[in-house]
C-alpha cells in the first residue's frame, strides 16, 4: 500500500484541494443501507462475475499504464485492484467509500495481495474532502444508490483533470425482460419482488438503461456506451450470486420493516427452483451491466 501519495495522483494532505471549486450541492454523509459482513462477501462474488466486462470496458475507456485513478464507491476494492494492475507500477489508484467497514476490508486485501500502487480511504466526494484530481475517475454500481444522481455525477466530474475521463458502470435490470427460459415462475417472482424492494429502499434498478440521459442532465456530452448481459445455467455462478443477492436484500428489507421472505422460506423456494432448473436445463438471465464513458475537456 502507499502511504504518501503523489500530489498528482491521490490524497493531498491539505494543499491544492483548497483551490478546487466544489459544486453547490448536498453535504450530507452518505450511508450504504446494505452495509454488512454478508454484503462485503457478496461484493467479492459479484466482482468475480463482473471482472471480464469491467476490464474490457475500462481499457476501452482509455484507462492505461501510468495513470492516476479514483474509484468512487470502491466497496471492498475490486475495481481499484483491477485498475492498479492496469496502470502498472508507475500509476496510482485511490479507492474511496463512505463506509469505514468496506475500506477496512479493502485495505486488508491490499495488504494481503501486496499491491503497492493503491490506497483506500473513507470519502463520499463531499465538500472539503482532500482528494486532488485524477486522470481517470470510475465508479461501478454506486451512482444508482445516490439520492441525487446528477449532483453525484457532477462531483465525480469535479475530480477529473482536464483531458481526463470518467467511466461509470451500472445495472439495467429492465434491459433483459426474461429471467428464466423455460420459465420458472417462482424465480421470476423472486426477481420481481427483489426489484420492487430495491426501489422501495431508494435504489435505481434501471440506471444502466439511462446513463446517456444522466450524462446529459449533468451537462456532459453523449457518452460511449456498451453492455453485457449476465447469463448462466442451473450450475452457474450466476445462480449462486442470485441467491446471495436475495438473502442480503431480504435481510436488509426485514430489518427496515418491509415484508420479505425469511431464511427458511427462501431456502425452501430455492430448493424447488434448483430442482426445476436442473430438470428443464433452464437458462437464467441476470442483470445487464452497462458502461458509459466520456472525456472531460
Ligand atoms: C454496490 S457497492 C459496489 C462496490 C464496488 N464499486 C464494486 O463494484 O464492487 C456500492 C458501494 O458504494 C458505496 N457508496 C454508496 N454511495 C457512496 C457515496 N456517495 N460515496 C462513496 N461511497 C458510496 C457503498 O458504501 C458501497 O460500498
Pocket of ligand 1 (CB under 6 A): 30, 32, 43, 47, 72-75, 78-79, 96-99, 102, 124-125, 140-142, 145-146
Measured CA to CA, the distance from residue 235 to residue 207 in angstroms comes to 29
Superfamily of domain 16-174+203-231+288-295: Vaccinia Virus protein VP39 (3.40.50.150)
**How crowded is the C-beta side of 206, counted as CA atoms within 13 Å?**
8
Cα separation of 108 and 95, whole Å? 13
The Cα 67–Cα 36 span in angstroms is 32
Q: Is 105 helix (H, G, I), strand (E, B) or coil?
A: helix
pLDDT at 94: 98
Is residue 235 exposed (0-12), middle (13-18) or buried (19+ Cβ within 10 Å)?
exposed
**Closest C-alpha to ligand 1, atom 1:** 141
What is the distance in A from the centroid of ligand 1 to the CA of 141?
7
In sign, the C-alpha dihedral spanning 187, 192, 197, 201 is positive
Among 9-13, 80-84, 85-89, 193-197, the minimum mean pLDDT is found in 9-13
Instruction: Tell me the C-alpha to C-alpha distance, in Å, between residue 39 and each of 61, 82, 156, 180.
Output: 28, 20, 24, 25
Q: Which atom of ligand 1 is nearest to the CA of 50?
A: 8
Please name the residue that has the C-alpha cell 453547490: 24
Q: What is the CB neighbour count within 10 angstroms for residue 164?
A: 21
Ligand 1 centroid – CA 144 distance (Å): 9
Render pLDDT for 101-146 as a digit per residue (tens, 0 to 9): 999 999 999 999 999 999 999 999 988 888 999 999 999 999 999 9
Domain boundaries, the chain: 16-174+203-231+288-295
Per-residue pLDDT reduced to its tens digit, 273-292: 999 999 999 999 989 999 99
The H or E element spanning position 108 is helix 100-113
Best residue for ligand 1 mutational test, from 49, 70, 73 (most atoms within 8 Å of Cβ): 73
pLDDT in tens, 57-112: 999 999 999 999 999 999 999 999 999 999 999 999 999 999 999 999 999 999 99
Ligand 1 centre and the CA of 140: distance in Å? 8
Ligand 1 atom showing the smallest separation from residue 71 Cα: 6
Amino acid at each position: 500500500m502507499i502511504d504518501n501519495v503523489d500530489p498528482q495522483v491521490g490524497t493531498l494532505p491539505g494543499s491544492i484541494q483548497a483551490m478546487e471549486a466544489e459544486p453547490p450541492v448536498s453535504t450530507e454523509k452518505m450511508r450504504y443501507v446494505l452495509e454488512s459482513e454478508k454484503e462485503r462477501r457478496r461484493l467479492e462474488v459479484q466482482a468475480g462475475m463482473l471482472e471480464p466486462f469491467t476490464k474490457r470496458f475500462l481499457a476501452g475507456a482509455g484507462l492505461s499504464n501510468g495513470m492516476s485513478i479514483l474509484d468512487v464507491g470502491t466497496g471492498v476494492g475490486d475495481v481499484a485492484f483491477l485498475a492498479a494492475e492496469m496502470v502498472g507500477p508507475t500509476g496510482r489508484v485511490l479507492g474511496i467509500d463512505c463506509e469505514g467497514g468496506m475500506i477496512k476490508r479493502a485495505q486488508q486485501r491490499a495488504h494481503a495481495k501486496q499491491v503497492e500502487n493503491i490506497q483506500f480511504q473513507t470519502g463520499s466526494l463531499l465538500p472539503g474532502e482532500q482528494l486532488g484530481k485524477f486522470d481517470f475517475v470510475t465508479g461501478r454500481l454506486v451512482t444508482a444508490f445516490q439520492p441525487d444522481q446528477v449532483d453525484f455525477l457532477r462531483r465525480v466530474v469535479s475530480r477529473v483533470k482536464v483531458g481526463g475521463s470518467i467511466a461509470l458502470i451500472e445495472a439495467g435490470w429492465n434491459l433483459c425482460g426474461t429471467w428464466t427460459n423455460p420459465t420458472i415462475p417462482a424465480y421470476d417472482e423472486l426477481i420481481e419482488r427483489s426489484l420492487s424492494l430495491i426501489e422501495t429502499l431508494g435504489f435505481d434498478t434501471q440506471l444502466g438503461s439511462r446513463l446517456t440521459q444522466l450524462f446529459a442532465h449533468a451537462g456532459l456530452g453523449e457518452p460511449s456506451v456498451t453492455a453485457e448481459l449476465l447469463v448462466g445455467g442451473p450450475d452457474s455462478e450466476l445462480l449462486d450470486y442470485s441467491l446471495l443477492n436475495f438473502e442480503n436484500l431480504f435481510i436488509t428489507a426485514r430489518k427496515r420493516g418491509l415484508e420479505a421472505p425469511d431464511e427458511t422460506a427462501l431456502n425452501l423456494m430455492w430448493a424447488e427452483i434448483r430442482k426445476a432448473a436442473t430438470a428443464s436445463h433452464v437458462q437464467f438471465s441476470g442483470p445487464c451491466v452497462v458502461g458509459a464513458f466520456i472525456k472531460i475537456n
